[in-house]
């Protein structure tokens, strides 16, 4: 079964491929598929954005499609940058600028608790979707550390670790990250639907569309 991963971010696609390993599942990125409509992520929640991307691209491609929306929630900033994480410092998206803005916003803050959150939506070509979510708690550093990862990874140290996401080995990050935890739920809850193209979608429990 071919599964379209609704991202043009090569780092994110590689991370998903490393984590989501299901027999007979062929993961392809939107750049591998060909021209597809752009999807404006204008929802107020991670769930809304993930569902929108999944159903629009599943309908356009004719393929089952997996989409995620994720971001960083900082307690001292009332949950910001949240759904605006990728565009926190404005358009176009710029990781370095986002990190600089976040550090400036937290300069006088003692509370640096934060979490990465991820919502994953899976849609069939008829635009019926279902979601799972995962999160990873941690703290924001005083300055960037590490050259790996992407986004806010150099600023985020997950609970139970002394190094940032950008310093941790990929194998470690892919066990504990918000995306890894959401994908783990996806595999456990949807394995029967991902392993072979299902006739009985959606799974028991209802659907979102």
Active site residue 159: no
Which one-letter DSSP state was computed for residue 203? P
Rg (CA), the chain: 17
| Six-digit token string for 132 | 């799972």
Contact (CB, 8 A) for 50 and 131: yes
Secondary structure element (H or E) that encloses residue 182, with its range? helix 178-195
Considering the candidates 69, 124, 153, 192, report the single residue annotated as catalytic: 69
3-state class (DSSP) for residue 187: helix
Pairwise CA distance, residues 124 & 110, whole Å? 45
CA dihedral (120, 122, 128, 131) in degrees, to 10, reads -30
Secondary structure element (H or E) that encloses residue 127, with its range? none
For 77-125, give the DSSP string. Answer: GTT-BGGGGGGTT-SSP-HHHHHHHHHHHTTT-S--EEEEEEEEEEE-T
Residues with a catalytic annotation lie at 69
């Amino acid at each position: 079964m071919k599964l379209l991963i609704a991202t043009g971010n090569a780092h994110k696609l590689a991370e998903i491929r490393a984590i989501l390993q299901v027999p007979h599942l062929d993961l392809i990125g939107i750049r591998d598929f060909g021209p597809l409509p752009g999807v404006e992520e204008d929802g107020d929640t991670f769930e809304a954005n993930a569902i929108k991307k999944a159903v629009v691209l599943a309908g356009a491609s004719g393929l089952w499609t997996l989409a995620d929306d994720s971001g960083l929630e900082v307690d001292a900033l009332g949950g910001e940058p949240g759904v605006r994480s990728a565009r926190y410092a404005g358009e176009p998206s710029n990781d370095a600028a986002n990190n600089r803005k976040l550090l400036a916003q937290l300069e006088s803050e003692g509370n640096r608790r934060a979490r990465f959150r991820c919502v994953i939506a899976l849609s069939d070509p008829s635009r019926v979707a279902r979601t799972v979510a995962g999160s990873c708690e941690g703290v924001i550093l005083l300055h960037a550390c590490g050259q790996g990862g992407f986004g806010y990874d150099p600023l985020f140290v997950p609970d139970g670790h002394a190094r940032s996401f950008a310093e941790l080995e990929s194998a470690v990050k892919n066990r504990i990250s918000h995306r890894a935890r959401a994908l783990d739920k996806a595999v456990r809850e949807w394995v029967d639907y991902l392993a072979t193209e299902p006739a009985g979608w959606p799974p028991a429990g209802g659907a979102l569309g």
